[in-house]
Structure formats: C-alpha cells, structure tokens
C-alpha cells in the first residue's frame, strides 16, 4: 500500500499520501519565515500541502532570479527538481531544469541521477529519454532500467577484473 510521508513530497514523487502528511506540510507553511531566503522551502512545503501549481511557480521564480551560472544555482536546480518539480509531477519543468543542470558543471552525471526513485514521476516522458541519451557519458556502456537495484544500474565499460595482474590489485593494469 501507499505510505504516509512526513515531509513535503514523497520520495517516490507521488506527493503526500495522507491527510496527516498534508497537515504537517500546512503546519510548516505557517511556521516558516516569509523572507526571500525561505521561498525554496516554502515551495517544498506547498508541494506537501498539495498546492503544486503554486509550488512550481515559486520554485521557478527562485531559479529565474538566481545567477544562472553560479555553482550554488546549479545545486539549487537539482534540489528544486527533486523536491518540487518531480514531486509535483511537473514533467516539462522538471525536464527543463534537469537539462539546465546537466548542461553546466555539477556534482552528478545523468548516470548517477538515474537510479533515484524521485525521477520515476518523469521517467516515462519521451523527452526524459532524449535528455538521458544526450547527456549519457561515453565511457558508460549500458544504463539499466530503473527496475534493477541501484547498485547494478551502471555498468562501467572497463572490466575491472582485468585491471589487476597476478601481482595483485595495486600492480599496473594488464594490457590486452
């Protein structure tokens, strides 16, 4: 069955699943600050309260007002992608923000992000598949579907078993 969440946006991108979870988010909205530094948190609480249209608008406004090429803005894109856009099932906006994130230097490659269940809400969108293909690293041979465990989702193109010699793993890699 479905589980209740106690924070805005269910980790599976399904939003809050109970009245109690929505009430917690509404309570958060009443307690959170009103200054500009709180707007991104307000957007996340709005998702939890079921007010997804307002949450998406607020989150996109925050991004629009942020310096586009600052490293912090790129980290903010990822946070907003997961905790506001995907959780709100705002597929178009989520894919646009993910494209912006992947087009700039960041901590995560598309292969590192793919196993995250919060992307399930947008995973079936054809534009998501095109985005994955566009940003796929050339050194990764195969990216498994989300149905496999996260640990097996990425298969390196290098056979690591062949990288060690009879002298042990610290020796120079074997050459074909």
Tens digit of each residue's pLDDT (9 = 90 or more) over 134-165: 999 877 545 444 445 454 444 444 433 433 33
Contact 9, 17 (CB under 8 A): no
Question: Residue 5 pLDDT > 80, yes or no?
Answer: no
Mean pLDDT calculated for residue range 1-26:
57
pTM: 0.67
Main-chain phi, psi angles of 126, to 5 degrees: -60, -35
C-alpha distances (whole Å) from 29 to each of 8, 12, 13, 16 are 10, 22, 20, 15
- Map tokens 């990216």 to a residue: 143
Tokens standing for 151? Answer: 């640990």
Mean pLDDT calculated for residue range 113-139:
93
Q: What is the mean pLDDT of the chain?
A: 77
Q: What is the pLDDT of residue 134?
A: 95
| Among candidate residues 19, 6, 13, the one with its CA nearest the CA of residue 116 | 13
Describe the crossing of helices 39-48 and 71-80 by its angle, rounded to 10 degrees.
10
């Amino acid at each position: 069955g479905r589980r209740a969440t106690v924070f805005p946006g269910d980790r599976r991108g399904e939003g809050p699943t109970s009245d109690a979870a929505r009430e917690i988010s509404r309570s958060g909205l009443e307690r959170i600050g009103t200054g500009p530094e709180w707007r991104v948190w307000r957007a996340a609480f709005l998702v939890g309260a079921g007010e997804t249209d307002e949450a998406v608008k607020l989150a996109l406004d925050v991004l629009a007002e942020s310096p586009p090429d600052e490293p912090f803005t790129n980290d903010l894109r990822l946070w907003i992608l997961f905790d506001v856009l995907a959780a709100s099932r705002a597929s178009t906006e989520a894919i646009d923000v993910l494209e912006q994130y992947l087009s700039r230097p960041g901590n995560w490659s598309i292969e590192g992000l793919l196993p995250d269940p919060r992307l399930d809400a947008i995973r079936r969108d054809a534009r998501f598949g095109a985005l994955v293909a566009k940003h796929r690293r050339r050194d990764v041979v195969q990216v498994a579907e989300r149905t496999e465990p996260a640990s097996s989702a990425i298969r390196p193109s290098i056979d690591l078993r062949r990288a060690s010699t009879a002298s042990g793993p610290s020796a120079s890699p074997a050459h074909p």
